[in-house]
């Protein structure tokens, strides 16, 4: 683990003035990192200039959100490190959005995706976070601050997290155009999604989203039947086919929606699709059983197929990825000791253990540099740097994910997150889109 | 007989059931009806009185297609389960001599119900898939060159699953009706020179009409209200009314879902009112 490795990811965030790098802390991270990895308990991170407060012990915080990051292991670790009790509720994303708006008293911490935040925050049910109270704020990837991974990266379409990441002041519900002291959501987890393929059943290279429409794969493809995400994958496909040029795939006009759905309907009529999937397990089964050879997929689903000993590749495509990101925010009613506890919790969230846990599942941590201290060099190189694994890669539960020698599909963090074409989003024409989508499914 | 005290007492006697029905049937349905007139946006229900939800549903091609699909599934399933159910019940009621054996076989029929609906459905998938057991057998024995694709994720697989899931709902009421047929009637029919088929269609079928109707009610409500079988077995490729409603609920479009539910309820009630024209269930029971 060299200084170079560290700067590779943490230098990018420092490229703007809002995320000053603290050299002394940098050294400390390095020291903690050198102590290496997994076995680091809370005691070992004393290298950090932070001592978790004692008075927040036994405070209970109610967190709700989507399943991806509502993980019991995180609640257990939070109890161990901070002493706080974390009550987790996992719901699907639509229910999360509704509950966030309509029952703001029912939660303390909302773990939501950014596109949900775009709808929820203006409703005035949440309070922005004072980033000056977060010791780890400057470790957050610049993707969530300026929207740019590197100086010259272009910002993707859709609800890019940084566009809804800040508000103008403590009382404001208006999203700021540039980073301020008031953050709506602290990013926690994100990833870049693409198509999954069965390389053993496909005898040509797959390079573009449009390949899913290749007549050669007739009856052997699938896309996901969750309208808000499915329509994005469909847009990536249509654009790749050269049929439609979208002004913003994340916010289509009615004509664009009509055209997209028409193309899908035609493909369905021609028997291009074998099935549509709605849940994670369905996508795994479709792929593992060989019913489909190319389909929309989520990263852990690809891992699940491979875990069965079946070859499956999360294929990087020329047009780029469809990305999504989630974060945690504070309910408006939170105050006093509980608010303090929430700040401690969020700072702890960014301090590395959770990030490492999530990265071992194939997601990315919002503060990659802090997570490094909690991962072995092999793990870090595999998940972040896109280098071949020098030893077996295990999941957080200890299950074998990749054998030694494997390389992550799509390569390094920079290569994957640097090629995001659009972010998950919610459209102005959402209601219309959903109706058209239903038409497509019923057609 | 009709003294006030007696009337009062009988009111008390019906009170528990009435209360249960009121709380758990009438009230929820009323709520659904009320909500079906509400408006909604992405995240909220807006109390209102609008016919938009109905107007959209009743004029949309999607609804029409979904209803046609649903009727197709319902009628196909009904026909197959009726033939199967009647045959099984007939065998149990008239061919098995010993009472013990009959009861044993009847219990045997219910064994699949010891596992969950979903498991019984999903277990078809590895069987019927492209690389599934059936296709393995067909291609292995050289009967077909290419795996048969329509076995799974098709109307065939949907109806197969329905039949598998719901045949018992036909067997039980028909069997029940048959066991109450006086054997002497059948003997009389035979003595009068009726063939077996004539006995079945002229004596047995009319006498188990109530069983057939009850079975029909079960099958129609189960199939027309279903969403999960259609979704899983068609691979999400076709939509029934239930699937439409489910989609709307999962997108929090409760008023639209409520309107569709009310339309479905009315449709089913119309079908049943026609059905009950033919058979007076109360009299036959």
- Which pLDDT score is estimated for B2? 54
- Whole-number percent of chain B with pLDDT over 70: 96
Kindly tell me the burial class for residue B166, based on how many C-beta atoms sit within 10 Å of its own C-beta (0-12, 13-18, 19 or more): buried
- Which pLDDT score is estimated for A119? 83
Q: Which two tokens stand for residue A125?
A: 């049910």
Q: Are A249 and A265 within one domain?
A: yes
- Which pLDDT score is estimated for A45? 43
Q: Are A28 and A158 within one domain?
A: yes
Given a contact cutoff of 8 angstroms between Cβ atoms, the answer to whether A179 and A290 are in contact is no
Sign of the dihedral defined by the CA atoms of residues A359, A363, A367, A368, in that order: positive
C-alpha neighbours within 13 Å on the C-beta side of residue B178: 25
Is residue A151 very low, low, confident or very high in pLDDT (cuts 50, 70, 90)?
Answer: confident
**For residue A399, is pLDDT > 90?**
no
Given a contact cutoff of 8 angstroms between Cβ atoms, the answer to whether A1 and A384 are in contact is no
In chain B, residues with a C-beta closer than 8 Å to the C-beta of A102 are 43-44
**For residue B18, is pLDDT > 90?**
yes
- Is the residue at A127 inside a domain? yes
Among chain B residues, CA nearest to A442: B239
- Mutation target to probe the B interface, by most B beta carbons within 10 A, among A231, A273, A290, A438 is A438
Q: What is the pLDDT of residues A75-123, one digit of tens each?
A: 999 999 999 999 998 887 777 887 888 888 999 999 999 988 888 888 8
Q: Nearest 5°: CA angle at B189, between B184 and B191?
A: 90
The domain limits of chain B are 1-35, 51-284
Instruction: Indicate the residue of A102, A273, A426 with minimum beta-carbon distance to B44.
Output: A102
Q: What are φ and ψ of residue A186, in 5° steps?
A: -90, 120
Q: Are A237 and A306 within one domain?
A: yes
* A182-183, strands of its sheet edge to edge: A129-130, A182-183, A166-167
Domain range enclosing A346: 3-184+323-390
Q: What is the ipTM score, two decimals?
A: 0.75
Q: Which two tokens stand for residue B248?
A: 């709307």
Q: What is the pLDDT of residues B235-245, one digit of tens each?
A: 888 889 998 89
- Whole-number percent of chain B with pLDDT over 90: 49
Phi and psi based region of residue A121 (left: phi greater than 0; alpha: psi -120 to 50; beta: remaining): alpha
Give CA–CA dist A436/B145, Å, rounded. 39
Q: B132–A289: do the CB atoms touch at under 8 Å? A: yes
Q: Are A22 and A134 within one domain?
A: yes
Task: Supply the CATH number for residue A430's domain.
Answer: 3.40.190.10
B181: Cβ contacts below 8 Å, ≥ 6 apart: B93, B203, B204, B207, B208
Give CA–CA dist A223/A234, Å, rounded. 8
Q: Are A309 and A328 within one domain?
A: no
Q: A276–B125: do the CB atoms touch at under 8 Å? A: no
Please count the other Cβ atoms lying within 10 Å of the Cβ belonging to residue A380.
Answer: 23
Q: Which CATH number fits domain B51-284: 3.40.50.300, 1.10.10.60, 1.10.3720.10, 3.40.50.12780?
A: 1.10.3720.10
In chain B, residues with a C-beta closer than 8 Å to the C-beta of A426 are 42
- Is the residue at A406 inside a domain? no
Give CA–CA dist A191/B98, Å, rounded. 66
Is residue B80 very low, low, confident or very high in pLDDT (cuts 50, 70, 90)?
Answer: very high
Rounded alpha-carbon distances, angstroms, from residue A373 to A30, A32, A176, A358: 8, 6, 33, 14
Q: How many domains does chain A have?
A: 2
B251: Cβ contacts below 8 Å, ≥ 6 apart: A94, A227, A434
In chain B, residues with a C-beta closer than 8 Å to the C-beta of A435 are 56, 60, 62
Given a contact cutoff of 8 angstroms between Cβ atoms, the answer to whether B155 and B238 are in contact is yes
Where is pLDDT greater, at A20 or A71?
Answer: A71
**For residue A43, is pLDDT > 50?**
no
C-alpha neighbours within 13 Å on the C-beta side of residue A219: 10
Listed range (A15-19, A204-208, A315-319, B40-44) with the worst mean pLDDT: A15-19
Give CA–CA dist B115/A240, Å, rounded. 46
Where is pLDDT greater, at A443 or B182?
Answer: B182
**For residue A51, is pLDDT > 90?**
no
Given a contact cutoff of 8 angstroms between Cβ atoms, the answer to whether B268 and B224 are in contact is yes
What does pLDDT average to over chain A? 84
Q: Which two tokens stand for residue B77?
A: 């399933």
- Which pLDDT score is estimated for B159? 96
Q: What is the pLDDT of residues A225-244, one digit of tens each?
A: 888 889 999 999 999 999 99
**For residue A62, is pLDDT > 60?**
yes
């Amino acid at each position: 683990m060299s200084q170079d490795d560290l700067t590779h990811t943490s230098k990018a965030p420092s490229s703007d003035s809002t995320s000053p790098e603290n050299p002394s802390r940098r050294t400390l991270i390095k020291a903690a990192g050198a102590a290496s990895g997994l076995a680091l308990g809370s005691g070992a991170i004393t290298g950090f200039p932070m001592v978790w407060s004692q008075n927040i012990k036994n405070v209970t915080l109610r967190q709700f959100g989507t399943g991806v990051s509502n993980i019991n292991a995180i609640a257990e670790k939070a109890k161990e490190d901070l002493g706080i009790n974390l009550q987790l509720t996992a719901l699907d994303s639509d229910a999360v959005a509704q509950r966030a708006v309509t029952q703001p008293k029912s939660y303390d911490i909302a773990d939501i995706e950014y596109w949900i935040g775009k709808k929820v925050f203006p409703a005035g049910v949440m309070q922005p976070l004072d980033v000056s109270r977060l010791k780890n704020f400057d470790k957050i990837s610049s993707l969530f601050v300026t929207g740019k991974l590197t100086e010259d990266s272009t910002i993707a379409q859709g609800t890019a997290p940084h566009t809804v990441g800040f508000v103008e002041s403590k009382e404001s519900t208006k999203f700021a155009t540039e980073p301020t002291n008031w953050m709506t959501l602290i990013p926690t987890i994100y990833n870049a999604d693409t198509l999954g393929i069965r390389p053993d059943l496909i005898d040509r290279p797959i390079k573009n989203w449009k390949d899913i429409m290749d007549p050669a794969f007739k009856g052997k493809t699938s896309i996901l039947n969750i309208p808000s995400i499915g329509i994005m994958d469909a847009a990536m496909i249509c654009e790749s086919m050269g049929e439609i040029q979208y002004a913003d795939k994340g916010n289509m006009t009615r004509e664009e929606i009509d055209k997209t759905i028409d193309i899908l309907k035609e493909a369905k009529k021609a028997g291009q699709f074998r099935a549509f999937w709605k849940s994670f397990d369905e996508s795994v089964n479709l792929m593992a059983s060989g019913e489909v050879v190319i389909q929309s997929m989520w990263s852990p689903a690809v891992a699940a197929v491979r875990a069965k000993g079946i070859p499956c590749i999360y294929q990087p495509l020329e047009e780029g990825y469809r990305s999504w990101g989630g974060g945690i925010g504070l309910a408006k009613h939170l105050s006093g000791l509980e608010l303090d506890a929430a700040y401690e919790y969020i700072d702890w969230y960014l301090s590395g253990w959770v990030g490492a846990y999530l990265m071992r599942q194939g997601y990315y941590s919002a503060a990659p540099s802090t997570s490094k201290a909690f991962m072995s060099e092999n793990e870090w190189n595999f998940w972040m740097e896109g280098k071949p694994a020098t030893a077996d890669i295990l999941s957080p539960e200890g299950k074998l994910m990749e054998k030694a020698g494997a390389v992550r599909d799509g390569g390094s963090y920079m290569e994957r997150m640097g090629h995001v074409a659009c972010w998950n989003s919610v459209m102005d024409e959402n209601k219309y889109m959903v109706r058209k989508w239903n038409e497509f499914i019923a057609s | 007989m009709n003294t006030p005290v007696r009337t009062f007492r009988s009111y008390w006697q019906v009170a528990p059931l009435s209360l249960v029905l009121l709380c758990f049937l009438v009230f929820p349905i009323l709520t659904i009806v009320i909500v079906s007139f509400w408006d909604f946006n992405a995240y909220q229900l807006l109390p209102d009185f609008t016919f938009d939800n109905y107007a959209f549903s009743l004029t949309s091609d999607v609804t029409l297609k979904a209803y046609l699909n649903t009727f197709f599934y319902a009628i196909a399933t009904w026909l197959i389960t009726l033939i199967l159910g009647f045959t099984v019940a007939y065998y149990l009621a008239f061919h098995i001599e010993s009472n013990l054996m009959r009861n044993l076989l009847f219990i045997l029929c219910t064994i699949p119900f010891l596992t969950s609906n979903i498991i019984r459905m999903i277990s078809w998938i590895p069987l019927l898939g492209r690389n599934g057991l059936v296709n393995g057998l067909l291609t292995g024995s050289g009967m077909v060159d290419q795996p048969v694709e329509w076995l799974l994720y098709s109307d065939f697989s949907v109806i197969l699953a329905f039949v598998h899931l719901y045949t018992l709902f036909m067997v039980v009421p028909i069997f029940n009706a048959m066991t109450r047929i006086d054997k002497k009637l059948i003997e009389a029919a035979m003595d009068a020179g009726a063939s077996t088929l004539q006995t079945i269609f002229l004596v047995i079928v009319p006498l188990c009409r109530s069983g057939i109707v009850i079975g029909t009610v079960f099958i129609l409500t189960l199939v027309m209200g279903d969403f999960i079988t259609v979704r899983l077995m068609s691979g999400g490729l076709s939509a029934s009314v239930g699937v439409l409603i489910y989609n709307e609920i999962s997108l929090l479009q409760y008023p639209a879902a409520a309107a569709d539910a009310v339309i479905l309820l009315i449709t089913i009630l119309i079908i049943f009112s026609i059905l009950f024209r033919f058979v007076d269930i109360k009299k036959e029971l």
